[in-house]
């Protein structure tokens, strides 16, 4: 059903080659995950003692930091999505009782990814009209979410 390339780059359907190359990729992924422990993969901003936090990635940084400053919230930025920084994110979430994901997509992709690792997002603030959040948009949405 699937094609794989061998060590020389030759396409093969051989199950042994498929298994060998899959295991090689798994080892590389595990090695990368260990290596990433040395890097900052999650950043925490805002009111570190707040039990309410915004979870975000990418271009939402500026508006999330401003909203967090104005509302006294913790702001947690995920810098790397794969390998997912589960341990670092859990550490950043210590003491958080309400977690809101702020994303510019229709599905809440970061919230879904966090859920895959057992991290519960309480609410999703999503904007998917092709424009970034304005501070006014975000503050209004946060008010609607009880913040």
Together in a domain, 15 and 83: no
CB 91 within 8 A of CB 53: no
Percentage of residues in the chain with pLDDT exceeding 70?
A: 99
Which residues form the domain of 56?
42-144
Together in a domain, 112 and 92: yes
pLDDT at 118: 97
C-alpha dihedral over 38, 66, 69, 103, to 10 degrees? -60
- Token couple for 98: 């309400």
CATH number at residue 121: 3.40.50.11610
Residues with Cβ within 8 Å of 132's Cβ and at least 6 positions away in sequence, in order, are 59, 60, 63, 104
Q: Residue 10 phi/psi, 5° resolution?
A: -85, 130
Task: Give 21-34 pLDDT, tens digit per residue.
Answer: 888 888 887 887 78
| Mean pLDDT for the stretch of residues 76-95 | 96
Q: Is the pLDDT of residue 6 over 70?
A: yes
Together in a domain, 25 and 74: no
Task: Give 126-146 pLDDT, tens digit per residue.
Answer: 999 999 999 999 999 999 888
CA 6/CA 42 separation, integer angstroms: 36
Residues with Cβ within 8 Å of 111's Cβ and at least 6 positions away in sequence, in order, are 55, 101, 103, 121, 124
């Amino acid at each position: 059903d699937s094609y794989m390339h061998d060590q020389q780059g030759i396409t093969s359907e051989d199950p042994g080659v498929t298994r060998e190359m899959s295991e090689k990729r798994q080892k590389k992924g595990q090695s990368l995950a260990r290596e990433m422990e040395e890097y900052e993969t999650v950043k925490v901003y805002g009111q570190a003692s707040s039990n309410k936090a915004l979870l975000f990635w990418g271009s939402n940084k500026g508006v999330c930091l401003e909203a967090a400053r104005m509302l006294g919230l913790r702001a947690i930025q995920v810098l790397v999505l794969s390998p997912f920084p589960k341990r670092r994110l859990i550490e950043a979430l210590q003491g958080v009782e309400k977690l809101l994901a702020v994303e510019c997509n229709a599905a809440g992709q970061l919230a879904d990814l966090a859920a895959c690792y057992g991290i519960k997002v309480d609410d999703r603030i999503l904007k998917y009209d092709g424009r970034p959040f304005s501070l006014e948009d975000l503050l209004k949405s946060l008010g609607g979410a009880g913040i």
